[in-house]
């Protein structure tokens, strides 16, 4: 059976807002309706399934329950326990680990004062755990485990007080703090009903947004594989072949000057490429306003632009490559307009 191809989306991260704790992923174009379908599925998996590490129990020297006090420490044990829950841990192996804190007053006990196993890394090192007076002496042993989502404190049944003084904590394993997605319509050639999906992700810093998207996608893919009751239909191959053919309604020129890329992309403003503010302003100041104006420049031409350095050049080359573009393409605008005119003639015929 000859199946109809699907549009293949391109993924790009908004570099202007990306950091180790925040990311904005733009996916376009998508088949109509796929924006909500994929966006909601990814959001649910991101919020519920991403693995993380947290302190699940601790031994505070001289304390055998969370309702007591520690001599020379301003905070009571309950407040210290609440502060311990805020420790952000990056675990490079996923196996359990131990951490140890010993601070004497006067002073402040911070996360950065904790000594931990080699495979554990503390992220929020400036977070304050407790304030110590002159006679303060705070010593804590932490036990770290890996899990998903939220887990209540695992107190052993029928034992009110532990012999070793261990206090069990509720654990927030998930490194995800917030996930939002937005779907809007986007145009591909003459068609205007394709979806553009934007996913905004905030993490606690233990993992990067790019990594959690990879993890969530792997989870969804492996789960959906079990729904296949016959040989999988190779839509990726079918759609890739179709994208290399002349699809006149989409404005792609296969044999001509744009080498298989959407013709109208070259005539769009450089705003579509989402450069950083510095690079964008330098290009606009030099009169580079459209994509075709940029790709026709050489590296030397770009470096001659005022205040445009090699770091900005590297950014431009990376973003162009994400769209299948490059510098020095030598595209003639007359050729583009001729291709568009021929395609419009094909549509109307």
**DSSP per position, 269-307:** BGGGG---HHHHHHHHHTT--BHHHHHTS-HHHHHTSTT
Residue 256 has pLDDT above 60, yes or no: no
Domain boundary among the residues 214, 243, 272 is at 243
Domain boundary among the residues 131, 146, 172 is at 172
Residue 46 has pLDDT above 50, yes or no: yes
- Domain of 6 in residue numbering reads as 1-47+177-243
Domain count, the chain: 3
Calpha distance 50→227 (Å, rounded): 22
User: What is residue 348's predicted lDDT score, i.e. its pLDDT?
Assistant: 47
User: What is residue 257's predicted lDDT score, i.e. its pLDDT?
Assistant: 54
Same domain, 11 and 113: no
User: What is residue 259's predicted lDDT score, i.e. its pLDDT?
Assistant: 56
Same domain, 196 and 214: yes
b/e string for 185-201 if b means 16 or more Cβ within 10 A?
Answer: ebebbeeeebbbbbbbb
| Higher per-residue pLDDT: 142 or 157 | 142
Same domain, 63 and 211: no
| Higher per-residue pLDDT: 202 or 340 | 202
H or E stretch at 341: helix 333-348
User: What is residue 336's predicted lDDT score, i.e. its pLDDT?
Assistant: 76
Q: What is the pTM of this model?
A: 0.68
pLDDT tier, 247 (very low <50, low <70, confident <90, very high otherwise): very low
Structure tokens belonging to residue 275? 């450069």
User: What is residue 139's predicted lDDT score, i.e. its pLDDT?
Assistant: 95
Calpha distance 121→1 (Å, rounded): 54
Same domain, 128 and 146: yes
Mean pLDDT across 187-209: 86
Query: Could you give the C-alpha distances from 226 to 218, 220, 222, 261, 263, in angstroms and in order?
Result: 13, 11, 7, 36, 40
Report the share of the chain in percent with pLDDT over 70. Answer: 89
The mean-pLDDT minimum among 67-81, 122-136, 204-218, 263-277 falls in 263-277
Residue 318 belongs to domain with CATH number: 1.10.150.20
What's the mean pLDDT when you consider all of the chain? 86
Calpha distance 153→160 (Å, rounded): 13
Same domain, 264 and 342: yes
pLDDT in tens, 93-128: 999 999 999 999 899 999 999 999 999 999 999 999
Query: Mapping DSSP to helix (H, G, I), strand (E, B) and coil, where does residue 205 land?
Result: coil
pLDDT tier, 198 (very low <50, low <70, confident <90, very high otherwise): very high
Residue 188 has pLDDT above 60, yes or no: yes
User: What is residue 189's predicted lDDT score, i.e. its pLDDT?
Assistant: 59
Query: Mapping DSSP to helix (H, G, I), strand (E, B) and coil, where does residue 192 land?
Result: strand
Residues 142/55, Cβ–Cβ less than 8 Å: yes
Same domain, 79 and 99: yes
Residue 258 has pLDDT above 80, yes or no: no
Mean pLDDT across 218-239: 88
Cα dihedral sign, 55-56-59-60: positive
| Higher per-residue pLDDT: 213 or 268 | 213
Structure tokens belonging to residue 12? 């790009």
User: What is residue 254's predicted lDDT score, i.e. its pLDDT?
Assistant: 39
Report the share of the chain in percent with pLDDT over 90. Answer: 50
Same domain, 64 and 167: yes
């Amino acid at each position: 059976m000859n199946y109809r191809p699907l549009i293949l989306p391109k993924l790009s991260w908004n570099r202007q807002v990306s950091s180790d704790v925040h990311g904005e992923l733009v996916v376009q174009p998508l088949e109509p309706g796929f924006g909500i379908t994929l966006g909601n599925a990814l959001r649910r998996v991101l919020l519920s399934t991403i693995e993380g590490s947290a302190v699940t129990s601790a031994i505070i020297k001289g304390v055998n329950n969370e309702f007591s006090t520690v001599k020379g420490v301003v905070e009571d044990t309950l407040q210290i326990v609440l502060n311990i829950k805020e420790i952000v841990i990056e675990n490079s192996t996923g196996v359990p680990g131990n951490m140890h804190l010993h601070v004497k007053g006067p002073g402040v006990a911070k996360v950065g004062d904790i000594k931990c196993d080699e495979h554990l890394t503390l992220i929020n090192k400036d977070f304050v755990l407790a304030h110590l007076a002159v006679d303060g002496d705070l010593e804590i042993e932490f036990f770290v485990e890996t899990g998903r989502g939220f887990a209540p404190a695992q107190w052993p049944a029928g034992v009110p007080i532990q012999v070793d003084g261990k206090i069990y904590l509720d654990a927030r394993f998930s490194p995800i703090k917030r996930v939002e997605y937005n779907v809007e319509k986007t145009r591909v050639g003459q068609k205007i009903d394709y979806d553009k999906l934007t996913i905004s992700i905030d993490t606690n810093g233990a993992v990067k947004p790019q990594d959690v998207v990879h993890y969530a996608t792997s989870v969804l893919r492996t789960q959906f594989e079990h729904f296949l009751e016959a040989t999988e239909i190779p839509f990726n191959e079918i759609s890739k072949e179709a994208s290399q053919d002349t699809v006149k309604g989409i404005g792609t020129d296969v044999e001509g000057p744009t080498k298989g890329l959407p013709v109208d992309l070259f005539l769009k403003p450089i705003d579509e490429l989402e450069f950083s503010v510095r690079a964008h302003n330098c290009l606009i100041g030099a009169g580079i306003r459209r994509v075709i104006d940029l790709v026709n420049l050489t590296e030397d031409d770009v470096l001659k632009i005022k205040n445009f350095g090699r770091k900005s050049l590297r950014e431009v080359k990376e973003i162009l490559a994400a769209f299948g573009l490059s510098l020095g393409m030598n595209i003639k605008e007359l050729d583009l307009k001729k291709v568009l005119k021929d395609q419009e003639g094909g549509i109307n015929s």
